[in-house]
Amino acid sequence: MVVGREILDHLKPGETVLIKRTSIVEPIMLLSEIAQWAKERGYQIVISDIMDTLHRYKVHMELAGLNTAFINDTKVIKIGGSSKNGQVIGKLDISEPMVQAHKFKKIYEPLLDGGVTVHIILGLAKLLLHDESIKNVLERVHILSTLGDNKRHIVFLFIDVDIVERSIPVAIPLLEEVASTVIEVNVGKREKSNIGKLAYKFAILKSVNNELSGLEFTLI
């Protein structure tokens, strides 16, 4: 079994990585790993925080004893919500997909002028729930699919599949289709050498890189 850092090292600018988790599995370890990896590589980190999801992640990371210092230095684009975490550089109301996308680009695209950016989108399920029609969901997914046209960033989409599959089931296969890499998160068994530590198991269900497809890795 490979380690998480090896997987991240194989990702290329222009990729969109869909991270599928359930309501009872919050991949805080993976968020921490992505942040450390990005900082070590000198990549800029930008978080799109939908409806205060970043605040929940930060609280849970602190309770788990994980370092959350990187959040203080991270540029954050707020989409709905009111909590203040990180360096908030823009705030957007939740609105029609195309209107919101236009406003988002005005804030986000100037950030891509130098080097590679790691763009983490938290709370995507909440945004899809707000869409009142399949038409809006299709527009939202189309907008997300265009993120892969930009070779100056790597996008990580964190999504709660339990919420989406019960309300807008068509959204998951649409997102899987546009993503270049799809990672599924589950809780694994504790190993004897790590009593008291919960293991998160990750399976790569899809990747444009044949070396990654089908691989699994664990974070403890």
In the predicted structure, residue 1 carries a pLDDT above the cut 50 = no
Report the pLDDT value the prediction gives residue 199, as an integer from 0 to 100: 73
* Cα–Cα dist 115/186, whole Å: 33
Residues 140, 127 contacting (CB under 8 angstroms): yes
* Global pTM value: 0.92
Residue % of the chain over a pLDDT of 70: 93
pLDDT digits (tens, 9 = 90+) for 56-111: 999 999 998 999 999 999 999 999 999 999 999 999 998 888 889 999 999 999 99
Residues 139, 97 contacting (CB under 8 angstroms): yes
* Adjacency order of strands within the sheet including 153-160: 87-92, 75-79, 44-50, 117-122, 153-160, 16-21, 181-188, 199-207, 216-219
Indicate the average pLDDT of the chain.
Answer: 89
Name the most confidently modeled range: 34-48, 96-110, 128-142. Answer: 34-48
Q: Which domains, and CATH codes, for the chain?
A: 4-219 (3.40.50.11570)
Q: Which of 87 and 5 is assigned the larger pLDDT?
A: 87
Cα distances (angstroms) measured from residue 179 to each of 11, 56, 90, 113, 171: 12, 25, 26, 24, 12
Report the pLDDT value the prediction gives residue 193, as an integer from 0 to 100: 47
* Cα–Cα dist 28/32, whole Å: 6
Report the pLDDT value the prediction gives residue 195, as an integer from 0 to 100: 47
* Cα–Cα dist 77/98, whole Å: 17
pLDDT digits (tens, 9 = 90+) for 50-65: 999 999 999 999 998 9
Report the pLDDT value the prediction gives residue 2, as an integer from 0 to 100: 56
